[in-house]
Structure 1
Amino acid sequence: MDSKKERLLGLVRANPFIGQQELADALGLSRSAVAGHIAALTRERRLLGRAYVLPKEQPIVCIGGSNIDRKLRGIKPLYLGNSNPASQSESLGGVARNVAENLARLGLPVHLLTAVGQDAAGQALLAHARQLGVDTRGSLSAADVPTGSYTAVLNPDGELLLGLAQMDLCERMDPDFLRQCAAQRAQAGLLMLDLNLPRDSVAALLAESRESGTTLLAVAVSGPKMERLPEDLQGLDLLLLNRDELAAATGISLNSEAALNRARKQLGQRGLQRLLLTDGGEPLRFCEDLLGGDWQVLKPPKLKLREVRDVTGAGDAFAAGVCAGLHQDPADLRSACRLGLRLAALTLQSEHSVSPELSPALLER
């Protein structure tokens, strides 16, 4: 063992921003000798990039939408085309933002790259993220466009009847935006994007992943936004979506098991590595070999109807659990799915889009 090199690593662990001259003084070495040790540690992947990032401290970088969630819940069964009495609540939302908050509450290092307006809502979104320990450096703050909003109309049981999204600001997260925040992505241990991003940006991130080898996950947002998924999916490790989104992505009507298999193989032929398919309260499916493998199935925890408070945010919690699991072990998709299901169940039992009951203890089970 090279004791000087190990001591240098210990000093970096204590202070990742320590300078080379400080290291030289502390170790009694020349600056060139310190540079040599740093180069060796970088080759060994024990240090990563600038600021001497340690592998276990690589953040999960979430790129995509942040908005204000407004929920209108019918007090009685809803009748379309009529005025219906409802209760109203408002919270912070957005797929990428919700995933980032879930991950932060699990105690994981998280970086959020998003776009908000320079209004009260936008500043509240960024301030709340920072309070949770989420790094938001590199995010866009626009003076001429309001922060996005999502309005969910729920029936009395908490099921979504209609969702209305005003997410125009996401169009600003274009390839130019990605170039400006490249430094924030360079240190990612895992990268997650949502399909609020423009198609060109999604394609650019896939190309970047092919070159860097960073694990990249994409989370679908809605059926209409599946058109933002490029034809060439090489570089995308995992796609998370539901049946409607899979049908929209492939143009296949999923009315049989054979149709599900055709859709899965089509995505594999386009270069996708792994696929995760949710179906509400039904068992989820995942596949790790889209061309030659079979679906694997996991059942979600059983919840009584009275235990379900609100479905909003449950899908984002599931995605966060998958990200957290793969951040710990990129090869173990089954365990990542189990963690996602636990997080989703907690969120279903909460009135919040992100359950306040999440904690690092969930990663120890």
Structure 2
Amino acid sequence: MRVGSDVPGRIVRVPGGVAMNIAMALARFGLRPELLTAVGRDAEGDELMEAARVRGIGTALVYRSDDLPTDTYMAVEGANGLIAAIADAHSLEAAGDKILRPLADGRIASADAPYVGPVALDGNLTVSLLREIAVSPLFAAADLRVAPASPGKAERLIPLLDHPNATLYVNLEEAGLLLHRTFDSSSEAANALVAKGAHRVLVTNGGQDASLAHKNGVFTQQPPSVLVARVTGAGDTFMAAHIAAELEGQPDPEALRAALDAAALYVSGDTPL
């Protein structure tokens, strides 16, 4: 497609968003994630909550707003990959820290007994809320898994870059934006992020390579070669598969391989939405 093109195609409406994509993938791996997010009390919100429930995703802790509409993400994909995308996450941004109340009021945890499990953190949150999370005692003991929503929002993660319990999942472009430089490989980017203070990072580079790095070293692997049928949600699937593999006790090389295989299966179109 070129700018201004008007072409035939298919329009598909599916449940999504970074947190929802991760949750759906986790559920496919046999886990039961709980959503902490903001969803409107509109028809779209009801449909989204039902879509989550039938997939085995917990929705009891979702903040349902009476005056904010359900957010929407629209992607245009072509044979040459992602053409353009628009994320309308204004309701999530407006809800702010209301979505975090279950971590403080005892429903999940409290200030006296902070949550200690894994948290998949969506970079669609505001910069101010991400800064608050970076220093909040509510997250001090949590296993933070952090994903930028898009390259355009990658710099929002800077407050979490040196969090002692955070694992960052970024692509090569996002790594460059975080450090204000360019990289030729995932291993170079991963090592640079760790040198900058990151506790642990996973950097993907499309079909080229992917690396996991921490203070003890770096692992680099090649993803399987597949015919790409879709791209939106691939990074979220990669992240979810890696979390699931580590929860099973798989070591670094095996967990990275499991994540790459799952992402390749997803982009090939063989994974159900």
TM range (shorter): 0.7 to 0.9
Give the one of 325, 328, 333 matched to 2:252: 333
TM-score normalised per structure 1: 0.66
| Structure-2 change in CA distance of 1:142 and 1:108 (3 Å) | same
State whether residues 122 and 147 of structure 1, in contact with CA within 8 Å, keep that contact through their aligned partners in structure 2. yes
| Structure-2 change in CA distance of 1:215 and 1:265 (3 Å) | closer
Q: Measure the CA separation in 1 of the matches of 2:153 and 2:145.
A: 16
Give the one of 64, 87, 93 matched to 1:165: 87
Alpha-carbon distance, 1:135 to partner:
1.3
State whether residues 158 and 178 of structure 2, in contact with CA within 8 Å, keep that contact through their aligned partners in structure 1. no
| Structure-2 change in CA distance of 1:123 and 1:108 (3 Å) | same
Alpha-carbon distance, 1:173 to partner:
4.3
- 1:30-57 Cα offsets, whole Å, 9 max, x none, are xxxxxxxxxxxxxxxxxxxxxxxxxxxx
2:63: which partner in 1?
140
Alpha-carbon distance, 1:321 to partner:
0.4
Are 1:97 and 2:25 matched, yes or no? Answer: no
State the AA in 1 paired with 2:272: P
1:3: which partner in 2?
none
1:61: which partner in 2?
none
1:175: which partner in 2?
97
Q: Measure the CA separation in 2 of the matches of 1:167 and 1:160.
A: 19
2:211: which partner in 1?
285
SS at match of 1:103: helix
Alpha-carbon distance, 1:129 to partner:
1.1
- What fraction of aligned residue pairs are identical, expressed as a percent? 31
Larger radius of gyration: 1
Q: What is the count of residue pairs matched by the alignment? A: 266
State whether residues 37 and 99 of structure 2, in contact with CA within 8 Å, keep that contact through their aligned partners in structure 1. no
Alpha-carbon distance, 1:154 to partner:
1.3
State whether residues 209 and 215 of structure 1, in contact with CA within 8 Å, keep that contact through their aligned partners in structure 2. no
Alignment map for 1:210-221 (pairs within 5 Å): 212-221=140-149
Are 1:347 and 2:263 matched, yes or no? Answer: no
SS at match of 1:325: helix
2:168: which partner in 1?
239
SS at match of 1:79: coil
State whether residues 100 and 110 of structure 1, in contact with CA within 8 Å, keep that contact through their aligned partners in structure 2. yes
Alpha-carbon distance, 1:263 to partner:
3.4
Give the one of 29, 33, 47 matched to 1:106: 29
SS at match of 2:125: coil
Alpha-carbon distance, 1:199 to partner:
2.3
Alignment map for 1:112-123 (pairs within 5 Å): 112-123=35-46
Q: Which stretches in structure 2 are left out of the alignment for 5+ residues?
A: 110-114
TM-score normalised per structure 2: 0.86
Alignment map for 1:1-365 (pairs within 5 Å): 78-156=1-79, 159-182=81-104, 183-186=106-109, 189-208=117-136, 212-231=140-159, 233-254=162-183, 260=189, 263-268=192-197, 272-289=198-215, 293-303=216-226, 305=227, 308-329=228-249, 332-350=251-269, 355-356=271-272
State the AA in 2 paired with 1:301: P
| Structure-2 change in CA distance of 1:235 and 1:257 (3 Å) | closer
| Structure-2 change in CA distance of 1:156 and 1:256 (3 Å) | closer
State whether residues 103 and 138 of structure 2, in contact with CA within 8 Å, keep that contact through their aligned partners in structure 1. no
Q: Measure the CA separation in 2 of the matches of 1:171 and 1:102.
A: 24
Q: Which stretches in structure 1 are left out of the alignment for 5+ residues?
A: 1-77, 358-365
State the AA in 2 paired with 1:273: H
Q: Which moved more, 1:128-137 or 1:313-322?
A: 128-137
State whether residues 190 and 203 of structure 2, in contact with CA within 8 Å, keep that contact through their aligned partners in structure 1. no
State the AA in 1 paired with 2:23: A
Alpha-carbon distance, 1:279 to partner:
0.7
State the AA in 2 paired with 1:229: L
Q: Measure the CA separation in 2 of the matches of 1:286 and 1:321.
A: 14
Alpha-carbon distance, 1:223 to partner:
1.9
State the AA in 1 paired with 2:91: L
